[in-house]
C-alpha cells in the first residue's frame, strides 16, 4: 500500500503552482479564484473532502491522515483553501449528518469541485455570544418561508454563493426551541450583502440583510423548530485539526520575526530579545499542547474541552507575539518591512497585530473560552447569568 505522506508529497510537488503568491499578490478576488481552481485540482487528484465519508465523495481519511496532509501542504507551500472552510467543515458535516439524500446530491459535489462557496449566517447584531437570542424571522407561506432580518460577521459572504442560515420560526417557543436551519441561495431577491471594512483595511466580513426573501421548505435542514440541535453539529465541526495550519504558520513566523528585528536593528535591545524568546516559548508550548489535544481526539473520537483551551491560547499568543514584534519594529513595522502582502494573507506586522484582536473575539470570545474551561475542565460552578 502506498504511504499517504509520500504519495501526497509527490502529488503536491507536481501540482502546486510555483508562482501562485506572485499571481495573487494580495488581490482578494484573485485569491478566491485561485482557491476555486486549487479546490478543483485537489478534487481531481482525489484529495478533496479528506474527512468526508467515501460515499459522499470524500477520502474517508482519519484524523491522523488529515494531519499528515496538512503537514505536507505546509511543507509544499500549497495555496490556501481557507475560503472553502465553511463548505468543507460546516456545510459538509451538517448535511452528511442531518441533510436529506436530495440535499446531499445537490450540494456536496459542488463544494468538492470548487464550484460553490458557502458562508454562515448565524450571528446577529444582538445575538453573538448568546446565539440562541437570534431574531431573524422566517414565516411559513405554503411551500416556502418568507425571511426577514439581519446577520453580521459572516466570513466571505461577499464572494459566497450559498449561506447556512439560522432563523426563528416560532417566536413564542423557548429561544432554543423555536429555531430552524435553512440553506439560502445568496442570489435570491431581497438579499443584500454589505462588506464590513475593518481597521486593517480588509473586508472579509459582511452584513447580510434579508427583506421578504423566499426560501423553499426543501432548503430546510432537519425538522422545523429543530435548528438549534442541528446547529450543534455545525459548531462542533470547528474542532479537530483546523487550527493546525495556523499554528504551524505561527511557528514559522518566529524566523521571520528574527530576520526583521535583525534587519531593523531592534534585535540589539536585550529586552526585545527577551520578549521574543518568551513568545517563542509560548508558541512552542501551544504546538505541543495542540498535539496532545489531537492525540486525545484520536483516542476518544472528539476534541472535548481541549478545543476551548486551544482557541484561547492561540488567540492570546498570536496577539502577544504580533504586538511584541510590531512594537519593537516601530516605524520599520508600520512601513511593512520585508513582509509584503501576498495571497496567503500575509501583511506587515502592525496589520497582523490589528488582525489578531479579531481572533480574540471570533468563534467565541476569550472570556467565553475561559468560562468553558472553568466549567468543563476545572469543574467550577456554572455562571448564574446563563444557568
Q: What are phi and psi of 75, to 5 degrees?
A: -60, -40
Residues classed as catalytic: 238
Whether residue 81 contacts residue 69, with contact meaning beta carbons closer than 8 Å, is answered with: no
Cell (9 digits) for 312: 484561547
Give the long-range contacts of residues 292-298, CB within 8 A, separation 24 or more: 294/63, 294/67, 294/240, 294/241, 294/244, 297/63, 297/239, 297/240, 298/62, 298/63, 298/64
- Around Cβ 376, how many Cβ atoms within 10 Å? 13
Q: 30 in helix, strand or coil? A: helix
Q: How far is CA 282 from CA 66, 189, 251, in A?
A: 25, 49, 10
Closest CA to 66 of 81, 90, 47: 47
Are 122 and 182 spatial neighbours (Cβ–Cβ below 8 Å)?
Answer: no
Amino acid at each position: 500500500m502506498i504511504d499517504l505522506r509520500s504519495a501526497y508529497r509527490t502529488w503536491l510537488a507536481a501540482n502546486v503552482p510555483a508562482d501562485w503568491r506572485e499571481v495573487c499578490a494580495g488581490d482578494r478576488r484573485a485569491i478566491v479564484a485561485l482557491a476555486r481552481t486549487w479546490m478543483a485540482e485537489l478534487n481531481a487528484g482525489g484529495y478533496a473532502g479528506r474527512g468526508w465519508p467515501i460515499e459522499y465523495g470524500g477520502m474517508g481519511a482519519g484524523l491522523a491522515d488529515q494531519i499528515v496532509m496538512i503537514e505536507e501542504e505546509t511543507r509544499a507551500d500549497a495555496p490556501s483553501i481557507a475560503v472553502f472552510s465553511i463548505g468543507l467543515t460546516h456545510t459538509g458535516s451538517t448535511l452528511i449528518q442531518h441533510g436529506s439524500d436530495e440535499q446531499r446530491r445537490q450540494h456536496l459535489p459542488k463544494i468538492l469541485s470548487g464550484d460553490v462557496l458557502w458562508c454562515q449566517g448565524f450571528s446577529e447584531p444582538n445575538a453573538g455570544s448568546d446565539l440562541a437570542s437570534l431574531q431573524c424571522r422566517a414565516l411559513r407561506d405554503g411551500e416556502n418561508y418568507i425571511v426577514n432580518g439581519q446577520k453580521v460577521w459572516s466570513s466571505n459572504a461577499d464572494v459566497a454563493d450559498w449561506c447556512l442560515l439560522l432563523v426563528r420560526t416560532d417566536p413564542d417557543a423557548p429561544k432554543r426551541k423555536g429555531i430552524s436551519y435553512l440553506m439560502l441561495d445568496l442570489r435570491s431577491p431581497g438579499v443584500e450583502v454589505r462588506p464590513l471594512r475593518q481597521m486593517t483595511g480588509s473586508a472579509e466580513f459582511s452584513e447580510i440583510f434579508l427583506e421578504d426573501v423566499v426560501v423553499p421548505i426543501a432548503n430546510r435542514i432537519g425538522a422545523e423548530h429543530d435548528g438549534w440541535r442541528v446547529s450543534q453539529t455545525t459548531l462542533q465541526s470547528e474542532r479537530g485539526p483546523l487550527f493546525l495550519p495556523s499554528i504551524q504558520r505561527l511557528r514559522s513566523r518566529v524566523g521571520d520575526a528574527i530576520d526583521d528585528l535583525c534587519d531593523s536593528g531592534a534585535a540589539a535591545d536585550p529586552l526585545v530579545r527577551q520578549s521574543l524568546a518568551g513568545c517563542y516559548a509560548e508558541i512552542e508550548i501551544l504546538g505541543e499542547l495542540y498535539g496532545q489535544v489531537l492525540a486525545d481526539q484520536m483516542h476518544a473520537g472528539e476534541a472535548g474541552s481541549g478545543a476551548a483551551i486551544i482557541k484561547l491560547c492561540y488567540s492570546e499568543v498570536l496577539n502577544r507575539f504580533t504586538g511584541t514584534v510590531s512594537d519593537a519594529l516601530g516605524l520599520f513595522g508600520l512601513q511593512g518591512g520585508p513582509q509584503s502582502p501576498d495571497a496567503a494573507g500575509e501583511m506587515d506586522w502592525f496589520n497582523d497585530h490589528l488582525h489578531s484582536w479579531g481572533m480574540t473575539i471570533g468563534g467565541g470570545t476569550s472570556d467565553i473560552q475561559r468560562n468553558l474551561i472553568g466549567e468543563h475542565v476545572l469543574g467550577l460552578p456554572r455562571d448564574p447569568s446563563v444557568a
